[in-house]
Amino acid sequence: MTPLQKPHLDYHLTLGIVAMEGRGFEYPSDSFVAENDKIYVTNKSRDYGERGVRVTILDMDSEYFGTFGHYGVSEGQLISPAGITGDGNGNLYVTDDYANMISQFDLEGNFIQRWGTGGSNLGELNGPSGIAVGIDSYIYVSDTKNHRIQIFTLSGDIVSAIGSQGEEEGNFHLPWGVDVGSDGKVSVADWGNNRIQRFDSNGEHVETISAVGTSKSQLNHPSSIVVDSRGNRYIADWGNETVKVLNSSSELIQEMKGQAALSKWASAFLETNKEEGLSRENANLDNLSALEDTEDPHTVSAHIEKLFWSPVSVKLQKENLLLITESNRHRIQVYEIK
């Protein structure tokens, strides 16, 4: 019997900086690496304000290519961009969880079309968040507040839906991230039920992942999952502020808490703003001993900057790199998969 492949992830680099507009991110909600190797990052902004909402385009070398999808209700504009994916044929799809719409753009950010109506009937949306395109060329949308996954054609026609509200197998409670693997299996971060659920291409439930590792520690409100072609699962365990790597048998291989260093954009900022840069050099930003009173991971991550804080999305680039988007730290930590 062939032993299971055991990928090991090493920290690679960090992308991004907080910025209310232009180059940078503000409360990023998702990222997607397109076939042109550019990274598209959706930003919800501080108070969903007029300046910060946008999709930022950059690459792995931190080269900045501009923004699109700014705040507004007109075609090509977004109010609360929650998720992004692409079809590999030059198209991007962005969910808007306030407007209850999905907007389609080309890789330059030009608007193509949009669809979606608020409601709970089949095909209607209530707070769409995670989004993925399957090998069947259908779009899978986490229809969060309707507690289901809806499946659309690339032009927005409804195909079917999976699940309904509840705690039983096949039910969801406020699902978030969704992924469709190369085998057609659909993986859903069933956020409110503290688990991952997986379905076959017919929508039949095949697996639930809720507790992992030898200590069987419970997933805590997972936000996102991506599965590679070998069946390894990468899970953003949002409530625990960690990322967990599981093999195809759902055995825990690695758990990461984050180790961000300065991105190119962050370094440039601190070099320009010398007073801040110099005082930062004298600071100890890893002082965990000051936090002996708390085990709450959200609190710990608020104090220790390098740790994941609100990891909302895990995405792969060609199965070599894992991109972890952290909403509260306005950055993406990138890990190399070996």
Footprint on this chain of other proteins (rule: CB under 8 A):
17-18, 27, 29, 44, 46-48, 79-80, 98, 127, 145, 174, 176, 191-192, 221, 223, 238-239, 260, 262-263, 265-266, 269-270, 273, 275-276, 279-280, 282-285, 287, 290-291, 298-299, 302-303, 305, 309-310, 327-331
Query: Taking the complex as a whole, how short is the minimal distance between the CB of residue 80 and other proteins, in angstroms?
Result: 6
The half-sphere exposure of 126 on its side-chain side, counting CA atoms within 13 A, is 13
Is there a contact between 37 and 59 (Cβ–Cβ < 8 Å)? yes
Query: Taking the complex as a whole, how short is the minimal distance between the CB of residue 280 and other proteins, in angstroms?
Result: 5
Query: Taking the complex as a whole, how short is the minimal distance between the CB of residue 184 and other proteins, in angstroms?
Result: 29
Query: Taking the complex as a whole, how short is the minimal distance between the CB of residue 173 and other proteins, in angstroms?
Result: 10
Q: 232: Cβ–Cβ under 8 A, 6 or more apart, which residues?
A: 5, 7, 245, 246, 247, 248, 253
| Tokens linked to 310 | 């609100």
Judged by beta carbon, residue 81 or residue 181, the one nearer other proteins is 81
Judged by beta carbon, residue 147 or residue 198, the one nearer other proteins is 147
Instruction: Give 146-207 as a DSSP string.
Output: GTEEEEE-TTS-EEEEE--BSSSTT-BSS---EEE-TTS-EEEEEGGGTEEEEE-TTS-EEE
Q: 311: Cβ–Cβ under 8 A, 6 or more apart, which residues?
A: 223, 224, 236, 237, 238, 241, 242, 243, 258, 324, 325, 326, 327
Query: Taking the complex as a whole, how short is the minimal distance between the CB of residue 283 and other proteins, in angstroms?
Result: 4
Judged by beta carbon, residue 232 or residue 242, the one nearer other proteins is 242
Judged by beta carbon, residue 198 or residue 221, the one nearer other proteins is 221
Judged by beta carbon, residue 195 or residue 232, the one nearer other proteins is 195
